[in-house]
Structure 1
Amino acid sequence: MENSFGVALDFSHVQLGDRPLVVCDVDDVVLDFAAPFTEFIKAEGLELLPRSFRLTGNIVSVETQVPIEEADVKRLIGAFFDRQEDWQTPSALSIETLKAIGKAADVIFLTAMPPRYQEQRRRLLDRLDLTFPLVATEEKKGPVMQMIHAARPLPSVFIDDMAHNLHSVRDHVENCLLIHMMPDSPLHQLAPKPDQPIVRATDWPHAAQMIDAYILSHIPHHRTAK
């Protein structure tokens, strides 16, 4: 499927019902990334020094304290995603909360990663009993969510830890509840703050409360399963 933004993706596995839509990022929202990745790179004699909210320039040799090149950062991220099943664990209360939300809404995972690692991520999520549809892409998330939600007259929600992804969805999907949720990691403390009307969730139960209230305001008979 391709829209006017030139984004070509296969959504044949995504079947939406007559229900609200919740689209959710994965890394550092559903699955921990920053902490296990920091441990992962230690095997190569590297450490992450969070001096800004980026990996390139902040991953340094333990021995020399010299930052590694961008190409090596990309190689490490690829190697980590290739072995994500051995390293990534669910964020606190993400599994039970998402399964409860999924009883009253369609949940889709929209993960920013090269599609070649989708199979590993699919296996990991399935192992955690998070069987919701997964879309892995490096395209901007706003146009992608617009394609998924289309012109459905139902409430939509988007959850992410990155301000630029939230801004992208804000600019492409009208009347969407935008939730900023991220771990309290040294790296994320340096992250850019999203603009209004994006709201901050302190944890998964808090996110569920906001989702329930938002959908209830649009569909009075709605109740998120507890």
Structure 2
Amino acid sequence: MLNDQIRPQLETLSLEPGKPLLVVDADEVLVYFLRDFRHYVGAQGWDLRLTEYSLEAALHHRSQGHVGDRATALALIDAYFQERTAGMEAITGAARALSHLSDQAQIVVLTNLPHHAKSMREQNLRAHGIPYPVLTNHGGKGPVLHHLAERVGAPVAFVDDSPSQVRSARKHAPTVATHHFVGCDEARAVIPAPEDTPYLAETWEALVPHLEVALS
């Protein structure tokens, strides 16, 4: 089921029926998140000790010890996006790859981001040469992908760094070609690949041929 945040955005999204569609995540796919988030929380007295795919487990306060929990992690992430989204650094090769693929497919950015930061994300991506529509979502992306695939009636490919989002896509939109991709080396070291989904590429340059096939 589509959530209330995404529904009005989909109603105003312009898509061309019959033309392939590429749907891409943003954080760790188009822009670096983890390495800047580390600096951000560090300035507030937090160390990020990543040994697994969990920000809350990695948060250690320098004066209080390990007091990271889900609420703390979510509050820090929300504040980070409020303050830093407009200045996030682009993943190497992302803009060039998408520009190349735009000859073959229409492109949409589907990002789990606080909705208040949507305009900053759009501004940031445009500044990096990534001027495609942005949809801000929360929760699983599978229902959104199902909706998009039905609208275009053409091949759809999806790129995300999150194993849970790849699984959501497979569950709710099985016709969509899923690609698990992490453009940040530090994040890739702790993000596990989904079941039966080895990393196909570690750079956008290497990912492009796989997407060309999926969209053909």
Structure 1, unaligned runs of 5 or more: 217-226
Segment drifting more, 48-57 vs 199-208: 199-208
C-alpha deviation, 1:76, in angstroms? 1.1
Cα distance change of structure 1 residues 39 and 87 upon mapping to structure 2, 3 Å threshold: farther
Contact 1:166 1:198 in 2 (8 A): no
Tell me what 1:136 maps to: 136
Contact 1:28 1:182 in 2 (8 A): yes
C-alpha deviation, 1:86, in angstroms? 5.2
Counterpart of 2:172, as a letter, is H
Secondary structure class of the residue paired with 2:55: coil
Tell me what 1:48 maps to: 48
Tell me what 2:150 maps to: 150
Secondary structure class of the residue paired with 2:43: helix
Q: How does 1:77-156 map to 2 (within 5 A)?
A: 77-85=77-85, 87-150=87-150, 152-156=152-156
Contact 1:155 1:215 in 2 (8 A): yes
Tell me what 1:20 maps to: 20
Cα distance change of structure 1 residues 102 and 135 upon mapping to structure 2, 3 Å threshold: same
Partners in 2 of 1:197 and 1:47 — Cα distance?
31
Structure 2, unaligned runs of 5 or more: none
Counterpart of 2:188, as a letter, is H
C-alpha deviation, 1:66, in angstroms? 2.2
Secondary structure class of the residue paired with 1:144: helix
Counterpart of 1:168, as a letter, is S
Tell me what 2:62 maps to: 62
C-alpha deviation, 1:202, in angstroms? 1.9
Counterpart of 2:14, as a letter, is Q
Structure 1 or 2: larger helix share? 2
Secondary structure class of the residue paired with 1:195: coil
Query: What is the CA deviation profile of residues 4-57 of structure 1, one whole-angstrom value per residue up to 9, with x for unaligned ones?
Result: x25331213321123111000000000000111001111111110012211112
Normalising by structure 1, we get a TM-score of 0.86
Cα distance change of structure 1 residues 152 and 26 upon mapping to structure 2, 3 Å threshold: same
Secondary structure class of the residue paired with 1:135: strand
Query: What is the CA deviation profile of residues 170-218 of structure 1, one whole-angstrom value per residue up to 9, with x for unaligned ones?
Result: 11223322111113544432223212367632211121111112333xx
Cα distance change of structure 1 residues 130 and 151 upon mapping to structure 2, 3 Å threshold: closer
Tell me what 2:195 maps to: 195
Query: What is the CA deviation profile of residues 111-131 of structure 1, one whole-angstrom value per residue up to 9, with x for unaligned ones?
Result: 012212212111111222311
Segment drifting more, 124-133 vs 194-203: 194-203
Are 1:168 and 2:164 matched, yes or no?
no
